[in-house]
Amino acid sequence: MTEAFLHYLWQFQYFDKKDLATSDGEALSIRTPGFYNTHAGPDFSQAKLTIGALEWVGSVEIHVKASEWTQHKHQQDQAYDTVVLHVVWKNDKDILRSDGTRIPTLELQHRVEEKLLLNYTKLVQQSAPIPCADSLHQVSSILKLSSLERALTQRLETKASSILATFKKNNNDWEETVYQVLGRNFGFKVNSDAFQQLTEAIPYKTILKHADKLHQVEALLFGMAGLLDASKEEYIILLRKEYALLSTKYSLAKKSLSKSQWRFLRLRPANFPTLRLAQFASLLSQHKHLFSQLIACESIQELRQLLSVTQSSYWQQHYQIGKSSKKVIPSLGEEALTNIIINTVAPLLAAYSIHKDETLWMDRAVEFLSKLPAENNAITREWASLQWKASSAFDSQGLIELKNNFCAKRLCLSCSIGANLVRSL
């Protein structure tokens, strides 16, 4: 037995309510079970109950055993004084509030269908990466869509929360925040941490002071990245001289990275951090108020135009310093642009929407994802093998969230699909 299963039973009222009574023998009637609480405090709030002759409005706390109340030290937390009903699988101990009054308790172990418990146990104990793989064909398309919408919303809110934390750290400066978040995305997973460290080491205001001269922006980024090799090429000599001056002017040298922090191995040349840095530098040089411009974009086309920049002439001929290419190196490709919109722009819009408490930008984030092509990765291919193929980034982001934060954690009862299957299998 798990607390998650008991939450499920209470939320959907999947138990026998005939002659319902508390452990003290008082008649119990449940008008509304309340709202599930995802924050600190009792599990459900604003429940409406009738116990004996009295009507109660308050919180409901759920445990496998009643004694867990004292184990969790709820008796020392005044937030739990609002609890009007303690719902447990086994009532092994009388529980008192902080003022000494007894909390009415409902025991469920003899009120639940054995089949329901067996279905739940069978589902969460599946060895397959996706527990409902064998039963997914039974799920309606409407239920799948509902699950995707919920998962996508959760994914956007989680990413937005991270961005808002960065925003707070940056003293509520959106431009600085976008510079850092976008920079991390230019690392494209493998070098994302190094990119983040780099953007945190060079303040965006410093970049802005030199944005009208691309070679100075490159000097700052490549110098601080520790990637200005001892090449005798004229352009690299220029960057080293500029960096020497700028790092002294802004006291940056102590925060610089080392070349060993950047990964080149097993990467296609188009993903080399040197080329991504050059493209990032070009974007910073061409657009001095990225946050304002990104927020103003109302279409995918506008976003692509804004983000489609061409790196400097040197980096059109080099993937790495001192190693020229036989062909002209293109700017950011369609796949990279799509990646940036999915992983930076959409979460940024969600964060701004939460910050402003307005739905416009959250709706726009969802709209953008619905118009972008689906991602092709191990997770989306795994779902496709189960006949659930993503047709847009909306779908693929939802499926990634379902796999990583529901299936992998066996939170089947928090997923509409799993909750439905437990009831219907």
- Give me the residue spans of the domains in the chain: 3-112, 115-169+341-425, 182-332
Measure the CA–CA gap between 189 and 200, rounded to whole angstroms.
17
Going by pLDDT thresholds of 50, 70 and 90, the confidence category of residue 40 is: confident
What is the tens place of the pLDDT at every residue in 332-359? 899 999 999 999 999 999 999 999 999 9
Going by pLDDT thresholds of 50, 70 and 90, the confidence category of residue 77 is: confident
Q: What H or E segment, with its residue span, contains residue 14? A: none
Going by pLDDT thresholds of 50, 70 and 90, the confidence category of residue 61 is: very high
Distances (CA, A) of 243 to 56, 130, 226, 247, 260: 69, 51, 11, 6, 19
Q: Can you tell me the mean pLDDT for 114-122? A: 90
Strand pairing class (83-90; 105-107): parallel
Going by pLDDT thresholds of 50, 70 and 90, the confidence category of residue 320 is: very high
pLDDT score for 371: 97
DSSP state, 265?
T
Going by pLDDT thresholds of 50, 70 and 90, the confidence category of residue 425 is: low
